Amino acid sequence: MSTSDMTPTRAASGRIRELVRRIAVDVFGTSETDVPIPGFTIFTDRRLDDPLAGLRAALLMRLVAEAQLYDYARTARAAGRSWDQIGTVLGLPIGDAPVGEVAFDWLVCGRAPDPDREGMRSFRTSSAYWRCSTCGAQVTDDGPFESHPGDNETSHTDICTRHWAEVAAWAQRTGRTD
């Protein structure tokens, strides 16, 4: 593979793998050995002498990354992004469920997307909390499951333009006013 084949995403994946290996060595106490790549005379690959250290490092990376999924989703909600937008970035939907609902179930309720799962709605008890970047209030976000925005998000101030815009969009979408 020449460097011109190296997309930014592929290059970033390589940096992440390298970081996992560094953590395995620096934190979990293994060493590395250069091993030849079959078919090449000058290129070598690096192998961890203790693969279990690699496993520990990869697990740590995963836990940190999963926490960041939640943190960035909350930050995005605070900045006015919808659960649908978040779900689209995450590559959802999976199955027939609405994108935003699957995203909330995954990141807030800790239920990984599963196309075969049904009927989980009544067990949902988690909420996300973030500070609205428009009105400054601490908002309780119960997910995009109800029709009216006021049933999904509580504690925006009475004069929050973001919230009123969502209520106005709801009224236009549904033809209702209350």
Which of 48, 99, 107, 160 is in the footprint of Zn ion by CB under 5 A? 160
Q: Using the rule CB under 5 A, give the single segment among 15-23, 49-57, 144-152, 153-161 that binds Zn ion.
A: 153-161
CA end-to-end distance (rounded Å), the chain: 61
Q: Give how many residues touch Zn ion by CB under 5 A.
A: 6
Query: How, if at all, do strands 153-154 and 128-131 pair?
Result: unpaired
Cα distances from 116 to residues 96, 98, 145, in angstroms, run 9, 14, 19
Q: Which is nearer to Zn ion, 58 or 167 (CB)?
A: 167
Does the footprint of Zn ion cover residue 77 (CB under 5 A)?
Answer: no
Sketch the per residue contact string, 99 through 138, with Zn ion: x for CB under 5 A, - otherwise.
---------------------------------x-xx---
Q: Dihedral of CA 12/15/17/19: which sign? A: negative
Nearer to Zn ion, 77 or 156 (CB): 156
**How do 138-141 and 153-154 pair as beta strands?**
antiparallel
Which stretches does DSSP call E strand in 79-165? 128-131, 138-141, 153-154
Between 95 and 136, CB nearer to Zn ion: 136
From 129, 171, 173, 134, select the one nearest 154 (Cα to Cα).
129
Closest CB 77 distance from Zn ion, rounded Å: 11
Q: Are 37 and 45 in contact (CB under 8 A)?
A: yes
Q: Between 102 and 132, whose beta carbon lies closer to Zn ion?
A: 132
Residue number, 124 or 131, with CB nearest to Zn ion: 131
- The minimum distance between CB 175 and Zn ion, in angstroms, equals 25
Binding residues vs Zn ion (CB under 5 A): 132, 134-135, 156, 160, 162
